[in-house]
Homo-oligomer: A and B are copies of this chain.
């Protein structure tokens, strides 16, 4: 699906930004770069900033007009500052990612279009886009670096793609599950731990059974919310056992 998504950079001035965009694309699994009338390309600076995404630069298509860049596309999304005189369907980056993957999933061809470093896209260019995408930013400092803007949209495309693939939910859950569910200490193991903890605290003189002052309640609250797993429980129980030996003076005796 990701191969159906092209990144189009219009009239880029700084080759370093082309390299930065290429790197961001490849990091997120995108490979199709189209450059509309770039000021300086190919360039050593672009390759330096691409840091290994040279293949994206090598296969980049250089064209003279936005029209050529958009040949074959079914959905065109153009980045835009928030307020434009002509009202247009406006998406945030997350919606842009979802829209791109939705369209790619049914075989469409998608273009993500980025404007000039300082001037963005012209109104005419924006009118070629089906949707405008605004990256939410500090109103007092709203202009993102071009590579950074490509990074944000490419990231949201990848997040949407992972969600669609079902990978996001599967892999994340497997990792979390490997730490959690099956290996969590059970309620009765927790109860045995609290008994052991209470006895140990009495042994070292920290807990006075005549005047317990909610101490165990506070410790239950702490460990109770920590989702203690079995390996951790074994460690905690081991510490208590050694603490009790210390309290009985066994360490002291051994040392003598």
Q: Chain A interface (Cβ within 8 Å of chain B)?
A: 20, 23-24, 26-29, 49, 51-53, 87, 89-90, 92-94, 135-138, 141-145, 147-148, 151-152, 155, 158-159, 162, 168, 172, 175-176, 178-179, 201, 203-206, 215, 218-219, 221-223, 225-228, 231-232, 235, 238-239, 242-243, 245-249, 251-253, 255
Query: In the complex, what residues of B have CB within 8 A of residue A227's CB?
Result: 225
Query: In the complex, what residues of B have CB within 8 A of residue A248's CB?
Result: 252
Contact sample, A vs B, 8 pairs, CB 8 Å cutoff = A51-B143, A53-B141, A145-B151, A205-B251, A219-B232, A223-B226, A246-B246, A247-B251
The smallest C-beta distance from A198 to any residue of chain B, in angstroms, reads 12
Bound state CA distance, A249 and B219, in angstroms?
26
Query: In the complex, what residues of B have CB within 8 A of residue A228's CB?
Result: 222
Bound state CA distance, A59 and B224, in angstroms?
42
B222 touches A226 (CB 8 A): yes
Query: In the complex, what residues of B have CB within 8 A of residue A243's CB?
Result: 204, 243, 246
Contact partner, A239, options B142, B158, B176, B204, Cβ 8 Å: B204
Bound state CA distance, A52 and B252, in angstroms?
65
B28 touches A138 (CB 8 A): yes
Complex copy number for this chain:
2
A162 touches B136 (CB 8 A): yes
The smallest C-beta distance from A224 to any residue of chain B, in angstroms, reads 10
Bound state CA distance, A247 and B242, in angstroms?
9
The smallest C-beta distance from A134 to any residue of chain B, in angstroms, reads 9
Knowing A215-B235, A232-B218 are in contact, say whether A20-B90 is a contact too (CB < 8 A). no
B249 touches A137 (CB 8 A): no
Query: In the complex, what residues of B have CB within 8 A of residue A168's CB?
Result: 92, 136
A239 touches B201 (CB 8 A): yes
Bound state CA distance, A24 and B92, in angstroms?
17
Knowing A232-B218, A243-B243, A246-B243 are in contact, say whether A52-B204 is a contact too (CB < 8 A). no
A176 touches B27 (CB 8 A): no
A87 touches B251 (CB 8 A): no
- Nearest B-chain residue to A221, judged by Cβ: B232
- Nearest B-chain residue to A23, judged by Cβ: B145
The smallest C-beta distance from A130 to any residue of chain B, in angstroms, reads 12
